[in-house]
Structure 1
Amino acid sequence: MTTNVAYCPALFLTAPASNQGKTTITAALARYFTEQGKVVRVFKTGPDYLDPQILAQASKQPVEQLDIWMAGDEYCQKMLFDAAQEADLILVEGAMGMFDGEPSSADLAARFKIPVAIVMDVQGMAQTAAAVATGLANFRDDVIVAGLIANRCGSERHAQLIRDALPKNLPLLISLKRNDEVTLPERHLGLVQASEVGDELEACFSAAVRWLSETEDTSLLTLPEPIAFYAPEVAPQADVGTPLQGKTIAVAKDEAFSFIYDANLRVLQALGAQVTFFSPLRDRLLPPADALWLPGGYPELHAQKLSENRVMSDQIQTFFAANKPILAECGGLLYCLETLTDLEHNTYPMLGLIQGDGAMRGKRGCQGMQTAALPEGDIRAHAHHRSLSENTPEPLSHGRRQRHPAPGEPIFRDKGLTASYLHLFFASNFAATAALFLGESE
């Protein structure tokens, strides 16, 4: 018997700012309850690729990105409803500060009535932490706040000062001591990919479970009350059909190219495509395919090896010359340029499908939500990179920024190749995605 409502305990972890410990604590809770035999489904607010990899390993379950602007309200609703039917607990990790962005973490929590736990690094403050948490909790009346998580608490006395200063309707859910063992490894774009540090992550997770268990506050270590998640009235973009039926799309996937939404793969499969994977780093043969997808990742860390795999480069160049569809996103764009200069200022030849040179630029970069304006139709997307591309040709168009009139990322097209710094979210426009991989535009 089908039903349009599912009940599941849920908690939304947010914070007053970035770098408060949200990912560490979300991962710790996911692993803690997983070890209790619970099925924990975790979601990440926004377009992040790296945090979901960490959270997926912690929960031993797939992790989805949720963003109302990027994915649409019905899509987010369906993801949560589907998870609620199989999970014992749903955790959602917010992005940036609680009210930052449009839509914000608070908007997502309010829309689906998920109780919020405020994660705060309380090092260097006590009663002030209570004041900040109280302000966040009362800033909007449509957000349900479950309580405060005091991270990097110095002592039980420190925790007691915070606890006593909080109003009765805003409890201290847990106080967590400073512990370097639970710190997750990072690099220039954020956390290190889970696949690169699997054993190190497991050590972090084990330490994190002990870290949670050492606290005297135990309310966070029991499942919250179930809440209702409803099925969307209309399945998102269910009327597009299967225009990619009989088509094979080869997707680059290895240490250099790994920024791949599982949701994007599902969209391609729902459109009828067969998806296959290959490694530009190691493979010598490009698999038989009708289209290629070169996603983002860290080509700058593997530029020499990519450059030396001339057999693969030759095959991709031949594929391009045959005017077959290729989508290159961010790191994929860098791979398609003539050269790439890495973080050590070494320059290597790349595919040369597009005129231009890519170079890393330290801590400077670009990030933000944009719409990819394509002849096939608009596809929601985001940019996050710390590199630049120079000497490139005139672009086909530019991304439209979410909240700023300045032109966004340039979008290049030559033959069947579409390349940009933008990471596309296919579920925002099934029809345009299908046309992109068919090489058809009006």
Structure 2
Amino acid sequence: MADTAYCPALFLSAMASGQGKTTVTAALARYHRRQGRRVTVFKTGPDYLDPQILAQASNAPVEPLDLWMAGDAFCREQLHRAALTSDLILIEGAMGLHDGTPSSADLAVAFDIPVVCVINARGMAQTVAAIGLGLARYRPEMRFHGLVANALGSERHRQLIEDSLPEDVQLLAAMPREERLALPSRHLGLVQPGEQDDPDNLSLEARLEAAADLLEGQTLTELPPAVAFASQSIDTPPEALAGKRIGIARDAAFSFVYAANVRLLEAMGAELCWFSPLADTTLPEGLDALWLPGGYPELHAETLGGNHAMCQAIRDVDARGLPIVAECGGMLYLQETLTDRAGTCYPMAGVLPGHGEMRTKRGCQGMQSAPLPEGEIRGHAHHHSRSHDTLTPMAHGRRASHPAPGEAIFRRGRLTASYLHLFFPSNPAAVAALLGGVAEPERSTPTGQPL
């Protein structure tokens, strides 16, 4: 593998959440894909939903990049690999450009990637220029590429903004106010592509094509300067899960799975056996461990609870003492009941004591690590529910930037459950031990960062 690879790259961020950066990133990816270019898109921070939209726009998998959760070495390796095979790299930021520690700006600076900021200009004109100027100057070491003004009401609106900008802050694109192109969302974020089938609205494909059309002829579509991405060697994990058959839930109710987690399990020698708690009545044969990831069990609670055969199969796996890892929605599924957002209570698998209830307003999100006996694994929380009458927690998550205890972590026998979504590459040896592998756990991340 070459030591350095060069590829045009842009980091698309915003002044805040809700500015339309996913729409702009997806539109730009689709535009270049239509030109026959190979586009690789990354998403900053923990996110399962935006990457699904971006993957459809680019026709390529979308990976997370995060300096805390994944580590510098992981991010460097991913970018270098992408640069070897891509004509363009796009990275969508999280929240506002300078929000969080580390922030989107920190990631852009770490890899010297030029930054584009999206600003929803509804209700302002010249003030867009003032905000843009502040974003461009706040960190002198950051390469500021320009602005995208979103939700414009007219050509005059665009002209007022452009005339107010200093010469060295460029308006790269102006996106009109097109409510019909807005990506649909719900309580945890954007609606997944496979569920955007409302006959009264445009399909996701139609939205992506229309948004790409709006970029036609604008400066943003010009290929940015090439960025040098140095190679990064990460040790291939030992085959600590060789010969192990791991069952993984995957369907409309359980879809929050990082591709990096799957690749790691395969690299450690595991045979992955996918199944659907919604549609299947039996588990794959000969399983050695079970992984129930997060998703939207609350949207499918009646079907999940009514699939008595699958619930019994999972209870049988637990009774046999096989390792089970349940994350967020997976944990809600294992509890006794789940009450949806309409207030209807449904029975669940009943493997664990506890009752899950959806909340309409308050949620929990943020970076946390799980201090497990096998080793500390980094991850994050993102949910709009609460659980009560549960087991006594074995431990609590450690927040990345706050001293308060994080999510409760439950352990009974070889079953581990929590609201935390784990990023397996942050500690492969601990993951192997958690799923019944033979490796001795390590107490630090493979990136060399302190936990």
TM normalised by structure 1 equals 0.96
Distance 1:77 1:439, change over 3 A: closer
Query: Secondary structure in 2 aligned to 1:119?
Result: strand
- Kindly provide the amino acid, as one letter, of the partner of residue 304 in structure 2: L
- Equivalences, count: 435
Matching residue of 1:31: 30
Distance 1:404 1:227 in 2: 35
Which residue identity is paired with 2:227?
I
| Corresponding letter in the other structure for 2:224 | P
1:223-251: per-residue Cα shift (whole Å, max 9, x none)?
1121111101x31x43x411100001110
Q: Which range is displaced more, 308-317 or 163-172? A: 163-172
Match of 2:211 in 1: 208
Superposed CA deviations along residues 20-54 of structure 1, whole A, max 9, x for unmatched, are 00000000011111011111100000001000000
Is residue 159 of structure 2 the alignment partner of residue 165 of structure 1? no
Q: How does 1:35-434 map to 2 (within 5 A)?
A: 35-197=34-196, 200-213=203-216, 218-232=218-232, 234-235=233-234, 237-238=235-236, 240-288=237-285, 289-434=287-432
User: Deviation string for 1:379-414 (max 9, x for gaps)?
Assistant: 001000000000011111100011111110000011
Task: Give the deviation of 1:333 after TM superposition.
Answer: 0.5
Write the letter of the residue equivalent to 1:341: T
**Residues in 1 aligned to 2:310 and 2:97: alpha-carbon distance in whole angstroms:** 45
SS in 2 for 1:312: helix
Moved more, 313-322 or 157-166: 157-166
Q: Residue 14 of structure 1 aligns to a residue in which SS?
A: strand
RMSD: 1.3
Q: Which residue of 1 aligns with 2:21?
A: 22
Q: Distance in 1 between matches of 2:71 and 2:437?
A: 25
Instruction: Name whichever of 195-204 and 153-162 sits farther off.
Output: 195-204
- 1:175 alignment partner, SS class: strand
SS at match of 2:203: helix
> Identity across aligned pairs (percent)?
58
User: SS at 1:296's partner residue?
Assistant: coil
What is the CA distance between 1:325 and its match in structure 2? 0.5
Q: Distance in 2 between matches of 1:112 and 1:365?
A: 32
Q: Which runs of 5+ in 1 are unaligned?
A: none
8 Å contact from structure 1 (residues 416, 439) kept in 2: no
Q: TM-score, normalised by structure 2?
A: 0.95
Distance 2:273 2:191 in 1: 25
Distance 1:354 1:437 in 2: 18
Q: Aligned partners of 1:153, 1:303: CA distance in 2, in Å?
A: 41
Structure-2 separation of matches of 1:434 and 1:373: 15
Structure 2: state its 5+ residue gaps: 442-451
Quote the offset at 1:168 in angstroms: 1.2
Alpha-carbon distance in structure 2 between the residues aligned to 1:364 and 1:102: 23
| Separation (CA, whole Å) in 1 of partners of 2:417 and 2:230 | 38
1-structure distance, mates of 2:383, 2:148: 31
For the residue of structure 2 that corresponds to 1:318, the secondary structure is helix
Is this contact kept in 1: 2:240–2:437, CA < 8 A?
A: no
How far is 1:354 from its partner? 1.2
Cα distance in 2, alignment partners of residues 222 and 246 from structure 1: 49
Asked whether the 8 Å contact 1:84–1:90 carries over to 2, the reply is yes
Instruction: Report the CA distance between 1:439 and its aligned residue.
Output: 6.8
Shift of residue 181, structure 1, vs aligned partner: 2.6
Check the 8 A contact 1:181/1:207 in 2, yes or no. no
| Counterpart-to-counterpart distance in 2, 1:78 and 1:106 | 19
- State the 1:341 CA deviation: 0.6
Residue deviations 1:274-319 (CA, integer Å, cap 9, x gap): 1120000000110021111000000001011001111111111000
Deviation at 1:188, TM superposition (A): 1.0
Q: Is 1:435 the counterpart of 2:433 in the alignment?
A: yes
Tell me: CA distance 1:365–1:439, structure 2 relative to 1, closer, same or farther (3 Å).
farther
Contact 1:325 1:439 in 2 (8 A): no
Residue 270 of structure 1 aligns with an amino acid whose one-letter code is: A
Amino acid at match of 1:253: R
4+ runs deviating over 3 angstroms:
439-442
